[in-house]
Chain A
């Protein structure tokens, strides 16, 4: 239905309203998170071409793009797991060089990111142990985050005893226990079934709003990106020499709280969905 890209005139009209040019900097004194010409080369290949954008505190930014466009690498650079070959990532104006406890990272492969020899409780406790929280204070904080993600009844279970959705909840609980102000999520719901994914999306949106978290959320699911994000950033693979990986930036002005039924019938949602699909289709040609 939407296989063919929109005519040029229609696209121009739409981009004036919905698309923001990536080259125009956001008007802010010190952005909360700032990507400044971040370039990453690994093994002689440019994984991420110079990318610049800012993220405001409390913003939920989704990153989409075809596989191999550097989405995950961008996230890893933002959390200090890999260092930029050129350019830099600044958090509160300070250059990120290594991981920080204020930046949490939710990995896609929850099965490998959880310690199989520790219970759910023990896995959450690891974050507190790392932060040097005294043993006496850990139990209430663990109970608190487990209640938040709906795992209170499963505190004493080992990861193998949990479903995929519950394992991912456990990983999110561990990240929340860090008390981060920035959360990186690398396709966290990509491996889950549709219903589990929807309920986790809603719970995440609620958690993020309650805790005032800033989120960078990588996904290959365009609808998920629009549903969750305040802004969607589209990357392109192999942009060509001298051109940035960042291809499009879209503001999502759909009111919150969002809802799986009504939001997905919202005219703005449908409109953005069409735009984004058309853009990605174009990139695949």
Chain B
């Protein structure tokens, strides 16, 4: 083997290496100098820089509406240090999660029933089509009357808002379960309960995750909206306070933070989805 190595090396040296920029592909890659992993962050950083420059100029002209990102970052650190950041974040995330849990459990349960039984679907169709389009935020006055200010009102509205997409998506997912699997469950003599938990529920897991990720987004949006409009708690309220006390830096800090939290939650859901589908035998 060793005897052949020198000749191989000689061969490699002898083979003509293409000069840089000789082929169109190589020429293009020179303009793409940024490594692939960094590329997605180029645009946000550019936008931030542009914003920084613009906001500083606006501040110099005497505007109270805008603060440069550097000031927002400073305000963010302040909020993180005094603990108000974590308190508000915890409140909003906790309420959104609980509300989603409530809405999702009910939505999945009813979606299973409506998906499995055509009679139930017919029975519920009109009620669902009438109630579903009601904007969840329009329920704030009603929920305020029923639950007062605070967690319970926000929970109820988040649950209402997440219930419908979960219901509709689970129902359609159940209707698309491989019919052969349902036949297998009949031939094996599975009970209705076993059929729901051992066949239907696992079969819809991929679609369920799509529904849940939508539900998470809806829950966050609605939670923050309710806090801005009515509930004196959480990130939405903190942002309102910052705005009302003419603190654009803190307001922007909250805005940016809410975006980051939303991004992180979605990323967490993706990780969870991948872990679950790997455990369920999906080819990785």
Contacts and interface: CB of A to CB of B under 8 A. Distances in A.
25 contacts: A81-B183, A98-B186, A99-B187, A99-B189, A100-B189, A101-B188, A103-B187, A107-B184, A109-B180, A113-B183, A113-B184, A115-B181, A115-B203, A117-B203, A117-B280, A126-B190, A126-B198, A129-B190, A130-B185, A130-B188, A130-B189, A130-B194, A160-B281, A160-B283, A178-B188
Interface string B78-115: 00000000000000000000000000000000000000
B194 A115 contact: no
B199 interface: yes
Given A112-B181, A115-B181, A117-B202, A104 B281 contact: no
B205 interface: yes
B280 A130 contact: no
Interface string B161-191: 0000000000000000010110111111111
* Chain A interface residue bracket vs B: 20 to 34
Contact of A129 (B184, B198, B283): B198
A24 B164 CA distance: 62
Interface of B: 178, 180-181, 183-191, 194, 198-199, 202-203, 205, 280-281, 283
Interface of A: 79, 81, 98-101, 103-105, 107, 109, 112-113, 115-119, 126-127, 129-131, 158-160, 174, 178
Contacts of B202: 115, 117-118
- Identify whether the interface residues of B are mostly helix, strand, loop, or mixed: helix
Contacts of B281: 116-119, 158-160
B160 to A, nearest CB: 32
B258 to A, nearest CB: 36
A127 B186 contact: no
Nearest to A108: B180
A-B pairs, top 8 by smallest CB distance, nearest first, are: A158-B281, A117-B280, A130-B188, A112-B180, A101-B189, A105-B187, A130-B190, A99-B187
Contacts of A129: 190, 194, 198
Of A126, A130, A160, A174, the most chain B CB neighbours within 10 A belong to A130
Contact of A81 (B186, B188, B194, B205): B186
A112 B198 contact: no
A81 B182 CA distance: 11
Contacts of B180: 107, 109, 112-113
Contacts of A118: 202, 281
Contacts of B186: 81, 98-99
Given A129-B198, A130-B185, 8 more contacts: A112-B181, A113-B180, A113-B183, A117-B280, A118-B202, A127-B188, A129-B194, A130-B194
Nearest to B183: A81
A79 B189 CA distance: 12
Contacts of A109: 180
B187 A112 contact: no
Nearest to A174: B188
B284 to A, nearest CB: 11
A99 B188 CA distance: 8
B205 to A, nearest CB: 7
A70 B36 CA distance: 58
A168 to B, nearest CB: 14
A66 to B, nearest CB: 24
Contacts of B194: 129-130
B183 A107 contact: yes
Contacts of A113: 180-181, 183-184
B178 A112 contact: yes
A160 to B, nearest CB: 6
